[in-house]
């Protein structure tokens, strides 16, 4: 069962190694921005 849905995602910062993901339970206006550092090695 999915508890949160991803509505938008994009890479950011000068090195483009941070993935920003906007998630929400059921309403995009009540969402939050989560992020994770990505290692491309």
Residues 1-41 have pLDDT tens digits of 678 888 889 999 999 999 999 999 877 778 899 999 999 88
Domain assignment of residue 14, yes or no: yes
Residue 14 is part of which domain span?
6-37
Total count of domains within the chain? 1
Angle at 40 (CA atoms; ends 35, 41), nearest 5 degrees: 140
Report pLDDT for 7.
86
Report pLDDT for 30.
83
37 close to 18: Cβ distance less than 8 angstroms: yes
Domain assignment of residue 1, yes or no: no
Nearest to 24 by CA among 16, 35, 33: 33
Report pLDDT for 39.
94
Nearest to 9 by CA among 25, 20, 24, 1: 20
Cβ atoms within 10 Å, residue 22: 15
Domain assignment of residue 23, yes or no: yes
Report pLDDT for 38.
95
Report pLDDT for 6.
86
């Amino acid at each position: 069962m999915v508890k949160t849905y991803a509505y938008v995602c994009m890479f950011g910062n000068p090195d483009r190694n941070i993935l920003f993901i906007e998630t929400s339970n059921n309403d995009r206006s009540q969402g939050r921005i989560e992020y994770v550092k990505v290692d491309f090695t």
